[in-house]
Amino acid sequence: MAAKVISAQNLGLIFQTADGAVEALSEITLDVNEGEFVSLIGPSGCGKTTLLRAIANLENPTSGRLTVNGLSAEAARLARAYGYVFQAPALLPWRDVNDNVRLPLEIMGFDDMAGRVSRNLALVNLAGFEKKYPWQLSGGMQQRVSIARALAFDPKLLLMDEPFGALDEIVRDRLNQQLLELWGSTKKTIVFVTHSIPEAVFLSTKIVVMSPRPGRIIDVIEVDLASQRKLEIRETPAFLKIAHRVRQGLKAGHSYED
Amino acid sequence: MKTDAAFRSGHSQDMAACAASIAMKHVPLLTVTLAIIIFWYAMCIPMNAVLTAPKIVAAGGGFANTLIFSWSEGRPVLPSPHQVFREIWNTVFAVEPWAIKSLVYHLWITLSSTLVGFLMGGLLGTALAIGIVHVASLEKSLMPWVIASQTIPILAIAPMLIVVLGKTGLPDIFTKASISTYLCFFPVTIGMVKGLRSPDVMQQDLMRTYNASSVQTLWKLRLPASLPFLFASLKVSVAISLTGAIVAELPTGAVAGIGARLLNGSYYGNTLQIWAALFVAAFAAAMLVLLLSALEKYSLKRMGTKA
């Protein structure tokens, strides 16, 4: 039995806005085990990003229990338990690729920064781009730099918030393939937010389907596809069957408002 | 095959074309400059009429006499451009720079206090901005005072500041520079508060996920992000710093400095001296702003900003 990395029990989060209280998360109960690749999927406003941010201690749940590595989310953040990849690359424009990946290492005071930077840039196939500035790179390359940056200090947990959402389909396919290889070689635990069904099925060992108003989990699907996947797997019946179940879940969550 | 002479004439044609293209680029500026000079010469006639009218009549009147007397009056109300230019020439280039008559000497006195005040103002302004950005209560308690400080006319507060600071036994240059500092810190504070807050939410969240201390966030995120704002503020500051230094020389009855020249000129009705001092001061301010622009370009380029 693999160790529990994330455990959420009856998690609730209510935002106080000018228009009144908004229930962003309601009764979320979810476990993520070590080495899993878990996707959170759902339409806009279903709370998938909020859940990820709560795990990262960037939002504070208003009820329920949440532990990361057995610690509170805040203690886990203070212990630098995870690497976070945002929707946009969020690179610092005045730092070149090398120095952007160095940023967390400088802050955390690592030795052997050069070695870590070059290892992780190689991992995202960006060796040789060290001296480029972010504006000289394509969107896909920038996002790969931000993944290398998140991996630089070797966290066991990687939290990714729609990292490829702004990229075109061809680039996204290639990055999905690379991410899967990276996951296979590094044995990280990954929580991945997306609103693309093929992306979720292709990448995940577990898919969490969410629904809005209030944000809640309506289905958890174990994906029993082979762990060595190629893009062609998306044409197979097993893949389509899982994709169909995800789609059904998303539809069920939506039905009441049409 | 070209002869040597033909080659040389071809070369000079290139030079002429090059000069023409430079001239073309500056046509708008040159046009405005020319218009100002013409207007200036024209205004010399009515402005100086009270002094020149009897002389023009005595010389037999006429357009030519009007121009000659209006543009060469010894103590004119409005000196003509070439008179100002000649005065600048005489007091900048035709005397030794350390002579009491030399504008270079006076400019140096004023510039040194300008730069000390600018430096202190820049540091004070940045320190205030860092405080305001990091401590929420400082914004509420300090910002109104920062703004109020600039609503008081500097001419009103300068003499009092100088008297009070003069009693503290600080070197004179700091007393003078304090007026520049008083004017300088404000644009820097306003610009830097905005600059230090310019990193977006995502970049700030990123630093949070690293559990970065606020000092680390300041050094690695906020300060680099604020640099373009800092330069914009500094360019405003350096120009008003010079104004401050000149104003600071007025109430003390200083014997040296651009302010002293202005005061001296107005005591003796020597308008030429006043105008020459003004132009030299304006030129110095423009040079300071240009210097900062060059520094800005250089440092932003070093920071990898897209060309």
Contact A103 B205 (CB under 8 A): no
**If you measure CA to CA, which chain B residue comes closest to A109?**
B212
**Chain A contact set for B221 (CB, 8 A):** 92
The 10s digit of each residue's pLDDT in B180-191 is: 999 999 999 999
Has residue A164 got a pLDDT over 70?
yes
Residue the block writes with tokens 């990448």: A203
**Mean pLDDT confidence for A65-79:** 91
Q: Give tens-digit pLDDT for A208-243.
A: 999 888 888 988 988 888 777 888 888 888 888 898
B202–A88 C-beta distance less than 8 A? yes
Say if strands A20-33 and A157-161 run parallel, antiparallel, or are unpaired.
unpaired
Minimal-distance CA residue of chain B relative to A152: B210
CA B176 to each of CA A57, B101, B206: distance values in angstroms, whole numbers, following the listed order: 52, 22, 45
How close, in Å, is residue B132 to chain A by CA atoms?
24
Q: What is the pLDDT of residue B162?
A: 84
Looking at residue B163, its pLDDT comes to: 84
Question: How many pairs of residues across A and B have Cβ atoms under 8 Å apart?
Answer: 56
Q: CA-to-CA distance for B181 and B122, rounded, in angstroms? A: 8
Sequence ranges of the domains in chain B: 2-78, 103-302
**Residue whose C-alpha is closest to residue B101's, from B110, B88, B112, B111:** B88
Backbone conformation region of residue A26, classed left if phi is above 0, alpha if psi is from -120 to 50, else beta: beta
What rounded mean pLDDT belongs to chain B? 88
Task: Give B128 to chain A, closest Cα distance, Å.
Answer: 25
Between CA B257 and CA B111 the distance in angstroms is 9
Name, in order, each residue with C-beta under 8 angstroms of A51's C-beta and a sequence gap of 6 or more.
Answer: A8, A11, A25, A28, A40, A210, A215
Nearest CA-CA distance, residue B221 and chain A, Å: 8
pLDDT level of residue B62 (50, 70, 90 thresholds): confident
**Hey, what's the torsion of the CAs at A9, A15, A21, A23, to 10 degrees?**
-40
Euclidean distance between CA atoms A202 and A230, whole angstroms:
9
Give chain B's radius of gyration (CA, Å): 26
H or E stretch at A21: strand A20-33
The matching CATH number, chosen from 3.40.80.10, 1.10.3720.10, 3.40.50.2300, 3.30.1280.10, for B103-302 is: 1.10.3720.10
CB atoms within 10 A of CB B289: 17
Q: Are A82 and A159 in contact (CB under 8 A)?
A: yes
Per-residue confidence band for B5, with pLDDT thresholds at 50, 70 and 90: low
Contact (Cβ atoms closer than 8 angstroms) between residue A205 and residue A34: no
pLDDT (average), residues B211-224:
94
Q: Which residues of B touch A (CB under 8 A)?
A: 200, 202-203, 205-212, 216, 220-221, 224-225, 227, 303-306
Burial class (CB in 10 A: 0-12, 13-18, 19+), B64: exposed
Q: Which residues of B touch A86 (CB under 8 A)?
A: 202, 205-206
pLDDT band with cut points at 50, 70 and 90 for residue B291: very high
B29-56: average pLDDT: 91
Strand partners, A3: none
Q: Mind listing the pLDDT tens digit for each residue in B269-285?
A: 889 999 999 999 999 99
Predicted local distance difference test score (pLDDT) of residue A254? 64
Question: How many H helices and E strands in chain B?
Answer: 14, 0
CB–CB of A106 and B303 under 8 A?
no
Is the per-residue pLDDT at B203 higher than 80? Answer: yes
Give the β-pairing of A4-17 and A63-68. antiparallel
Tell me whether the omega of the peptide bond preceding residue A212 falls within 30 degrees of 0, making it cis.
no
pTM listed for this prediction: 0.83
Q: Which residues of A touch B303 (CB under 8 A)?
A: 94
pLDDT at B9: 54
B11 has a pLDDT exceeding 80 = no
What end-to-end distance do the CA atoms of chain A give, in Å?
A: 42
Mean pLDDT of B197-203: 94
Nearest Cβ partner for B220 among A56, A107, A133: A107
Provide the sign of the torsion angle of the four alpha carbons A234, A237, A239, A240, taken in this order: positive
Q: What pLDDT does B306 receive?
A: 65
* B229-272 pLDDT per residue, tens: 999 999 999 999 999 999 988 877 678 889 999 988 888 888 99
Please report the pLDDT score of residue B116 as a whole number. 95
Which alpha helices (H) appear in A79-167, and where do they start and end? 97-108, 113-123, 139-151
Beta-carbon separation of B303 and A94 below 8 A: yes
**Would you state the pLDDT for residue B8?**
54
Residue type, B297: K
Neighbours of B189 (CB within 10 A): 26
pLDDT digits (tens, 9 = 90+) for A95-133: 999 999 999 999 999 888 999 999 999 888 888 999 999
CB A32 within 8 A of CB A191: yes
Could you give the residue ranges of the DSSP H alpha helices within chain A?
A: 48-55, 73-78, 97-108, 113-123, 139-151, 169-186, 197-203, 237-254
* For residues A47-54, average pLDDT: 92
Q: What are the tokens at B70?
A: 């209006």
Are the C-beta atoms of B248 and B113 separated by less than 8 Å? yes
Q: Is there a contact between A96 and B304 if contact means CB atoms under 8 Å apart? A: yes
pLDDT digits 0-9 by tens, B63-99: 888 898 899 888 899 999 999 999 999 998 888 888 8
Contact A92 B221 (CB under 8 A): yes
pLDDT at residue A256 is higher than 70: no
Spatial strand order of the sheet with A216-222 comes to: A82-85, A157-161, A189-194, A37-41, A206-211, A216-222
